[in-house]
Structure 1
Amino acid sequence: MKRQFLWFLVLAMAVISSACQKAPNAYLSQQTYGSEKIFSFDSEFRVMVNKHSELSYNINDQRFYLKGGSFIKIEGLAGRRAPVTFVASGVALQTSEAEINIDAYDIASGRGKLTILNGVVKIKNNLTDTSITSGGYWFGPTVLDSDIDWLPAQEVKWLDKCYSSSSMRVDDLVKLLYQFYATYASYGTEPEFKTAIFEDVHIDIREPLVTVIERLERKGKFKFNYYPQYNSVIITKKD
């Protein structure tokens, strides 16, 4: 009788354990609205991804795994602020609420670009363990640009955030330069930029962008490489 009871106890524990492992997936519900899919988890937060994307949950590492999709929105419900971790393109992203844009799927190799549109995201993998705030960009395992972690000695890439525009405009470049120089000045390396961002540089928005960039290069300490196909400007300090 005692042996039968022990076998029953072992069986019951196995059933309970199996049920616990399957529980999180049971709470992961999905709804589709137009071109977007919204996943809700245990009424605590929801994740919005592109319609063609796939989202799964692994109970063992307690992470969500995303396949496909270039736009991700994580939204806490009922005041939830505990962070969640999901893996996209081999990169683990941890956040409680954020909007993220992935321009290429192969981020982990350094060929992709991840943009934090809103919120704060902590990036965790073998090479990087840091946070990026809104407006920050990440270009793979070795290049990290953000309001917090950018180092002036590194190559800096500030890209046009106006995704609706088919090409970068001069006024877009001006906004990016203000952001770039303000970040540079915040590290105390070039304090004069705080009061004179465009020293002796006249900018006419009616001029072609390449003309403005050439004038900026002649007057300043930085080199500007404009890539129309990527709608981006790469800024590096002159030797």
Structure 2
Amino acid sequence: MLFKPIVLHVPKSTLTSDDAGISITQYELLPPPSSITAPYHLHANKNANPTLSYVPSLAFFCINALLEWPDQVHTYGPRRPYQPPSDRSDFDILQALIPTYRPFSPHHRDFDLRLVDPRLWAVLVQLYEPLPPAFRTYTLPLSDVHLPLLQRIPSTAHFSLLTVLSLARCSELTDDTVVELRELHTLAALDASLTALGSFGLLRLAKTLSWTEPDSDSDAEHAPERRGPWGLRVLYLKDCINVDDKLLDCLPRFPLLSVVGVCVPAVVQRTPT
């Protein structure tokens, strides 16, 4: 199943006129998301079809087969214990799947998780525990093609995906584009400081909170699911000039919101003498 990437875009408009003098507004469309190449794509192209000096384990092939369905891994039961290698000659499933990972590297300073396919990371953190600290967080662009798929991973007693989104100083975040964040069902913290986002935009985002309904009688046994940023807990709105006192009316719509940082710059008007 394919999911559209989450892209914030304010189209640029140009006012022109035709031969009859009629005003025409032209909008510049967003380039296709496929033109944006993620770091892990470049790394995968350079290391396509690697030659292995050993016979991989069955887990190696099974995990690679699960890359297309990271949102279904939770059905396989609780996580398996991860045993780090005690010697450099020992087999390590992490190093087998990610050749750039070195188990004995001090603090894993040379390891860049951004070069790893996010679907592989999502599968590993659901299958094994405890993983090394280098696998604790994954930084992913909002427009990554796999982000909507990762947002479909359900929370379980052994795993919970928390999304921390930083859009500070993002010129594309407005009251119109903020509704695109409705696909971030695991959004826990949002930094929208120094943007054009205002109280009206946050009200629109709050209205995206909903419950799914069964599409047919065959889905009637499935319980409704929450859709939208129900889990938003932290919200920063520093220096957002479009935020006013109406913000207090929409904040209670986010049931788990507990930390709100708002600092609107004061406007001083000089009175002529």
TM-score (norm 2): 0.27
Q: Whose strand fraction is larger, Structure 1's or Structure 2's?
A: 1
TM-score (norm 1): 0.29
